[in-house]
Structure 1
Amino acid sequence: MEIGVGHAYSLRMSDVGELYERDFYAWTQDQAALLRAWPEALRPNALDLNHLAEEIEDLGKSQRRAARSLLLQVIQHLLKLRLHPDRQSEQRWKKDVNGFRDQLRDVFAENPSLRAARDELAADLWARAVASLRRDLELDGFDSRAAMAPLPDPAEPCFDLDREILAEDWFPQPPAG
């Protein structure tokens, strides 16, 4: 979610401070847009606004990367719980999922605009998680094709983002047999 320059100019100073406290990611995108829109003739001497805007924008992007990384970790572990034949690590995987979900809730609480963009954040993560599982299964000495056979279509997510991946206590059923 990018905040446009028009939005930035409509904010009062008190609103900008509130935005910083309420949604850090949105604030960084807003402030970067303001810096880029600053008329050249009014810029203070030697102030490198383009690079300042880029650095501020990158602060917000680090929050976005954190959310994507945590989502990926949750999906990878849920896939292991659903498909990995070796059940010895099941409790650890569940604890890891709980920890990743807690961290993700914190990122979303500090950056509600990222929570609103959760579908976009997760869009390409399924394919990465499936590829990671395939590699892990092979490294662990399992036939990845056989283990992943229960997936109707490995290219399509089999977990619902809100009802399962982000749900506090949801875990998939382990593989049969």
Structure 2
Amino acid sequence: MSAEIERSASEMQNLYEADFYAWTQEQVRLLQQHAWTQLDVANLIEEIESLGRQQRQELVNRLGVLLGHLLKWEFQAEARSKSWFATIREQRREILELLQENPSLKPYLPEAIKKDYLAGIDLVVRETPLRYRDLPSDCPYSSEQILAETFFPGASSDLSEWQ
């Protein structure tokens, strides 16, 4: 029986490397059948860890885009556009949904904002005439402001022209 399990593990490794989708479907089938000894445990662990990292990375990426657009909105008021407005709304919506689906990411938010602020600055410098020295070195927005639907830095309270 041990040789059969080892052979099965070897076959699973080959399937994992050759056809990831087929491997996932086989793992689902084995889980549903409670065939614990036939599962490709090492790769399952790796993939589950990867899923968690993907959720965290999505938060990081979306915050970087959001912070960059908030900075552009504030520091390039003359260039404001519907596109920037829509991007800010979209990123907020997606971040809030991500946090709702993954509440354990909420405590990571302040750290993520601190890290992602640099990505936001890079976005601004890449897409505008602004330079690094033109922007605050630390994030000027609180996490509440960043995620607030109505917060647009430097904007008048009337945002109707952008809606």
TM-score (norm 2): 0.65
Q: Please show how residues 163-174 of structure 1 align to structure 2 within 5 Å.
A: 164-173=145-154
Residue 83 of structure 1 contacts residue 148 of structure 1 at CA under 8 Å; is this kept in 2?
A: no
Q: Distance in 2 between matches of 1:148 and 1:173?
A: 19
* Equivalent residue letter for 1:56: I
Who is 2:71 aligned against? 79
From 121, 127, 144, the equivalent of 1:130 is 121
- Any stretches of 5+ residues in structure 1 without a counterpart? 1-42
Q: Distance in 2 between matches of 1:102 and 1:172?
A: 18
Q: Distance in 1 between matches of 2:113 and 2:42?
A: 30
Q: Please show how residues 56-135 of structure 1 align to structure 2 within 5 Å.
A: 56-84=48-76, 86-87=78-79, 89-135=80-126
Q: Distance in 2 between matches of 1:50 and 1:122?
A: 33
Q: Distance in 2 between matches of 1:135 and 1:94?
A: 19
Deviation at 1:84, TM superposition (A): 2.1
Residue 78 of structure 1 contacts residue 171 of structure 1 at CA under 8 Å; is this kept in 2?
A: yes
Give the length in aligned residue pairs: 120
Who is 1:49 aligned against? 41
Counterpart secondary structure, 1:123? helix
Q: Distance in 2 between matches of 1:131 and 1:54?
A: 32
1:95-136 Cα offsets, whole Å, 9 max, x none, are: 211111111111111100012221122221111211221121
Residue 66 of structure 2 contacts residue 120 of structure 2 at CA under 8 Å; is this kept in 1?
A: no
Q: Which has the larger radius of gyration?
A: 2
Q: 1:50 to 1:120 in 2, by over 3 A?
A: farther
Q: Distance in 1 between matches of 2:107 and 2:77?
A: 35
Deviation at 1:86, TM superposition (A): 4.3
RMSD: 2.1
Deviation at 1:148, TM superposition (A): 5.7
Amino-acid identity (%): 28
Residue 73 of structure 2 contacts residue 154 of structure 2 at CA under 8 Å; is this kept in 1?
A: yes
